[in-house]
Amino acid sequence: MERNPRIDLKLLRYFLAVAEELHFGRAAVRLNMSQPPLSIHIKELEQQLGTLLFVRHSRSVALTHAGKILMEESRRLLASANHALSRVEQIGRGEAGRIELGVVGTAMWGKMRPAMRNFLKEHPNVEVLFREKSPGMQMALLERRELDAGIWRMALQPSSGFTSLRLHESSFLVALPEDHPMARCESIPLLSLCNEYFVTLPSAHSDWAFLQSVCQQAGFTPLIVREVVEPQTVLAMISMGIGITLMAESYAQMNWPGVIFRPLDEPVPADLYIVYDQQQATPALQTLVRALTG
Q: Between 87 and 238, whose confidence is greater?
A: 238
Measure the CA–CA gap between 201 and 227, rounded to whole angstroms.
5
Residue 1 has pLDDT above 50, yes or no: no
- Gyration radius (Cα) of the chain, Å: 32
Which range among 29-33, 90-94, 262-266, 283-287 shows the weakest confidence by mean pLDDT?
90-94
How large a percentage of the chain has pLDDT more than 90? 54
Instruction: Please report how the helices 9-21 and 65-92 are oriented relative to each other, as an axis angle in degrees rounded to 10.
Output: 130
pLDDT for residue 195: 95
Task: Order the strands of the 245-248 sheet from edge to edge.
Answer: 245-248, 172-177, 259-263
- Predicted confidence (pLDDT) per residue in 220-260, tens digit: 999 999 999 888 999 999 999 999 999 988 888 888 999 99
Residue 184 has pLDDT above 80, yes or no: yes
Domains in the chain (CATH in brackets) are 7-78 (1.10.10.10), 96-167+270-291 (3.40.190.10), 170-267 (3.40.190.10)
Measure the CA–CA gap between 156 and 135, rounded to whole angstroms.
7
Closest of 273, 290, 294 to residue 126, by C-alpha: 290
pLDDT for residue 96: 62
pLDDT for residue 84: 73
Q: DSSP state, 171?
A: B
pLDDT confidence of 91, banded at 50, 70, 90? low
**What pTM was estimated for this model as a whole?**
0.64
